[in-house]
Amino acid sequence: MALRLVQVNFKARDDSTLGRFWAEALGWGVSSEGPGVTNVEPVDFVWPDPVAVCIDVVTVPDPETVRYRAHLDLATTSAAHHAELVARLLELGATPADVGQGDVPWTVLADPEGNVFCVLEPRPIYRDTGPIATVVVNCADPRAMARFWGEATDWTLHEVNDDHARLRSATGVGPYLELLRTSGEETVWNRVHLDLMPYPGDDQAAEVARLRGLGATDADVGQGDVPWVCLADPEGNEFCVLTPG
């Protein structure tokens, strides 16, 4: 039994507008499964596939009440690509963001609804990830979080130390999941959380029970009566377990 990281979920005031921003930012397409939901994924993509972690943008009544601890880092292949991507994102409606990063080689931006993300300088480790280099989750203890997420999913742990842990799909494709040590209260807005999915034939309830045994707890984010289950990891980061697919 294991789970897959299949998408990141953005809470939004306007799912269509924010979805179009991210589609243009990543060079992906958009679709919708219903009112208030915009799916952003590679063109001709058959979901789910570990080659990409997709984006699900959902309109909620009051996104300002949400402050998650996850964000996206985008990959670049050269200094010129980095400069071109940052310029294009600014034209699309992104704005510079100051999260106390100081003088760093990457660029910190906020999307049109204020969600902070990073455009990384070229790094060899991310050369084959696609446009999203890594999904970052802030935490206090990367080693403990790596144990939880390594057992929760079938992703492979590539690196762990006191400052960060890095996991990737067992098939070695797509973006990384990075658990990054931070201290203190979150000072920036991010409305991004992770969505996990069981494999076909696996049992959602059994997976949820297994996660509780690993230290996950039930989370109430106002979801109401829905087919997915909202949980929080041992440090309180909310995520959802979808139905098998």
What pLDDT is attached to residue 77? 97
Q: In whole angstroms, give the CA distance from residue 92 to residue 40.
A: 16
Give per-residue pLDDT as tens, 140-155: 999 999 999 999 999 9
Percent of the chain residues past pLDDT 70, beyond the cut: 92
For Cα atoms 165, 145, 210, give the angle at the middle one, nearest 5 degrees: 130
- State which residues form the domain around 79: 4-241
Residue type, 130: G
Residue 112 is part of a domain; what is its CATH number? 3.10.180.10
Domain count, the chain: 1
Which parts of the chain have pLDDT scores under 70? 63-68, 184-190, 221-225
pTM: 0.93
pLDDT 10s digits, 204-242? 999 999 999 999 999 876 656 678 899 999 998 889 999
Nearest-angstrom CA–CA distance, 211 and 232 = 10
19 close to 4: Cβ distance less than 8 angstroms: no
